[in-house]
């Protein structure tokens, strides 16, 4: 069993666990209940940890984790509405100002 990920945000750890289990990678969360001890114990001891049970699937889990955190880094570029000239974020297909579709 190998530790894959540590975070103060236990919801993030739980979400990553769900994603990995969707790829048939068995995981265990440790220190989930210790988050309430912050202040009494050092924060580094209280961080929620995600462990991969099968060492043979660790590299696959690491790649999936890398993909999770790289999502959104290759965002579509902003575009200018041909109708009203408004600059629109790349993920949108219609202008928020006039409703014109992206060309």
2, two tokens: 């190998």
30 and 59 share one domain: yes
Tokens of 72: 């959104």
Q: 42 with 86, same domain?
A: no
Q: How many domains does the chain have?
A: 2
Look up the domain containing 84 and give its range.
75-103
pTM score of the predicted model: 0.66
Residue-wise pLDDT for 52-78, tens only, equals 999 999 999 999 999 888 866 556 788
For residue 95, the tally of other CB atoms under 10 A from its CB is: 20
Q: Let me know the angle formed at the C-alpha of 73 by 103 and 6, rounded to the nearest 5 degrees.
A: 150
Residue where the block lists tokens 């790349």 = 90
Judge whether residue 2 has pLDDT over 90: yes
The structure tokens 């965002």 sit at: 75
Do 47 and 16 sit in the same domain of this protein? yes
């Amino acid at each position: 069993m190998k530790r894959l990920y540590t975070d103060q945000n236990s919801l993030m750890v739980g979400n990553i666990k769900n994603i990995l289990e969707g790829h048939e990678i068995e995981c265990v969360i440790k220190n989930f209940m210790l988050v309430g001890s912050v202040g009494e114990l050092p924060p580094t001891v209280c961080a929620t940890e995600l462990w991969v049970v099968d060492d043979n699937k660790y590299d696959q889990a690491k790649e999936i984790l890398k993909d999770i955190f790289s999502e959104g880094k290759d965002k579509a570029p902003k575009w200018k509405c041909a109708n009203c000239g408004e600059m629109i974020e790349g993920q949108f297909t219609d202008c928020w100002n006039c409703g014109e579709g992206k060309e």
